Amino acid sequence: MTLDKDQIRKEFRVKRKALSEEEVQASSEQIFLRFKSWLEERSSINHIHIFLPIAHHKEVNTFLIRDYLFEKGIKVYTSIIPEGKSKMDTVLIDSNTNYKIDAWGIPIPVNVEPVEPVEIELVLIPLLAFDEKGNRIGFGKGYYDQFLASLKPTVLKMGLSFFSPVKSISSEKHDIPLDYCITTEKVFTF
């Protein structure tokens, strides 16, 4: 049975809200270790786009991944949504990048210039839920679907989730499925 997206979104917001700060951190560390093992088997990946976590949404702490990628010498990208725009700009960040928290609680890199995302090989995608086929649900704004559609088709798409997949999520023509999703339990491949 395919569940309604709004229903799943509501359910997983409640599940996430119920997590303690300690659970978020411990689960983020488990996800980081699984990501690290996954990446070690793919040493040819050198350009990775990450999302920066919104603390009050209790997102996976990707700062652990970011810092590891910096240590490995991997180019790290993230996105910002310039005021008045409806699509994300890609920016390159490094260990010297400073951040400010915007009105939505997103850590935003400051003093960075947009770059063309042509070299990106892997995108880490925020999500609320995913299903057994790699369909995902975010917060419903569509920013990542639009961003992913602008990248070359060979770019790998990876979700990070505190929870196991649901059976099935309805998908629309513009939805772009994941290639992988890492949870505290395992790496799912689709």
Distance, in Å, from the CA atom of 32 to the CA atom of 11, rounded to the nearest integer, reads 25
Predicted local confidence at residue 105, as pLDDT: 84
Binding residues: 5-9, 52, 59, 136-144
Q: Could you give the CA distance from residue 72 to residue 84 in angstroms, rounded to a whole number?
A: 35
Domain 5-189 has CATH 3.40.50.2300: no
Mean pLDDT of 129-146: 86
Dig out the tokens for 146 from the structure. 């639009």
Dig out the tokens for 86 from the structure: 């409806």
- What pTM was computed for the model? 0.92
DSSP reduced 3-state for 54 = coil
pLDDT tens, position by position, 5-48: 888 999 999 999 999 999 999 999 999 999 999 999 999 999 99
96 and 112 in contact (C-beta within 8 Å)?
no
Better-predicted residue by pLDDT, 3 or 189: 189
Q: Considering only 51-65, 81-95, 110-124, 150-164, which range has the smallest mean pLDDT?
A: 81-95
For the chain, the domains span 5-189
Residue positions in the annotated binding site for ATP?
5-9, 136-144
Per-residue pLDDT band for 166 (boundaries 50, 70, 90) equals very high
- Known binding-site residues for substrate equal 52, 59
